[in-house]
Amino acid sequence: MQQTARTVVIHEHGGPEVLKIGDRPLGDPGPGEVRIRHRACGLNFIDVYQRTGLYPMDLPHALGMEAAGLIEAVGEGVTHLKPGQRAAYAAAPAGAYCEARVMPAAQVCPLSEGISFDAAAAMMLKGMTVEYLFHRTTPLKRGDTVLFHAAAGGVGLIACQWAKSEGITLIGTAGTDEKCSLAQFNGAAHCINYRTENFAERVAEITGGKGVDVVMDSIGADTFNGSLDCLKPLGMMISFGNASGPVPLMDIGILGKKGSLKITRPTLFTHIADPSVCQAMARRLFGKVEGGEVKIHIDQRFPLDQVAEAHRVLEARQTTGSTVLEP
């Protein structure tokens, strides 16, 4: 009898109501593949972008980009994983919202006993995003100053701790005083409530009018122009998300007028396309967590069959830290 696995699939783009759960066939892994049985699945804004069609997908398609669990079987040519081994991943193609799946093995990473399945599922995409932001996008050194939007979210809380561990001054933004306090507790030197203060003006005050070396902005439309105003001359704008909608079209000449600024729009999946780079990024992240420099905050948990509600809460910006789905 063929195995099946409960899986979240969309048949059309739209709101949380398009998320449907059903049984899908679960076969054996082919060459270069593994079959993994999930213990926890992560929730990320990229899942929302794919669900709504901002990032179009061929439909029907399963959703979810990160999870952790046990390897059940490996295909021909897979040497870094074996049956029974703990593993975690953030990887394409989407399909992590499920009990188990067959998937390419290259970006699946061995997981040590020192990290729980929940923590691993909550941190792979977010934590490796922070790794590339701080180590692969533009040179950062001790003493530099960074503005980080959504500092109390899943990526943000990791970034606050990461910055503190490397002597980088992080100025965060968040939407409530409580979220600002959380970001500062986790290492942000300052945190600005963007609902009650003009964050660009406040950054100017904090930096004595100098501005910051780097802005890391996952919000998009609502913050983009203000973020540019926060940079010092020759500063770097890293736009890595669209939580409030896509960044509007811009005249590139504005970068020169504002001080010869630089701008980039990176993605995690470009960085992890090389399997050796992916594994190295995961090892650095695991080292931060096992060494106690970064703690993973899981502030929301939902059963897999409540995935639509999880999406609603995430989109309403009512979450802090990371959210885990329980298969």
One-letter amino acid identity for 325?
A: L
Any idea which residue has 């090892």 for tokens? 283
pLDDT at 250: 87
pLDDT at 242: 87
The residues, ordered by sequence, that sit 6+ positions from 26 with a Cβ below 8 Å of its Cβ are 2, 3, 4, 5, 35, 100, 101, 102
pLDDT at 159: 98
What's the DSSP call for residue 190?
A: E
The residues, ordered by sequence, that sit 6+ positions from 254 with a Cβ below 8 Å of its Cβ are 228
Q: What are phi and psi of 272, to 5 degrees?
A: -90, 5
Q: DSSP for 107-162, please give it.
A: TEEE--TTS-HHHHHHHHHHHHHHHHHHHTSS---TT-EEEESSTTBHHHHHHHHH
Query: How many degrees, rounded to 5, is the angle at CA 176 between CA 171 and CA 181?
Result: 55
Any idea which residue has 């990371």 for tokens? 322
85 with 71: CB under 8 angstroms?
yes
Helix (H, G, I), strand (E, B), or coil: what is residue 280?
A: helix
The residues, ordered by sequence, that sit 6+ positions from 166 with a Cβ below 8 Å of its Cβ are 134, 140, 142
pLDDT at 2: 67
272 with 281: CB under 8 angstroms?
yes
What are residue 167's DSSP bridge partners?
none
220 with 49: CB under 8 angstroms?
no
| Domain architecture of the chain: domains with CATH | 3-125+271-326 (3.90.180.10), 138-265 (3.40.50.720)
What are residue 326's DSSP bridge partners?
303
128 with 162: CB under 8 angstroms?
no
Report d(CA 266, CA 134) in Å as an integer.
Answer: 12
- Residue from 194, 188, 198, 263 nearest 228 by CA: 263
300 with 319: CB under 8 angstroms?
yes
The residues, ordered by sequence, that sit 6+ positions from 226 with a Cβ below 8 Å of its Cβ are 198, 199, 200
236 with 138: CB under 8 angstroms?
yes
Helix (H, G, I), strand (E, B), or coil: what is residue 264?
A: strand
End-to-end Cα separation, the chain, in angstroms:
22
Which whole-number Å values give the CA distances from 304 to 74, 101, 109, 289, 294, in the listed order?
25, 15, 23, 26, 27
> What six digits make up the tokens of 232?
């010092």
**CA torsion sign, 230 to 232 to 234 to 238?**
negative
> What six digits make up the tokens of 289?
């967590």
Residues of the chain with pLDDT under 70: 1-2
pLDDT at 42: 98
pLDDT at 68: 98
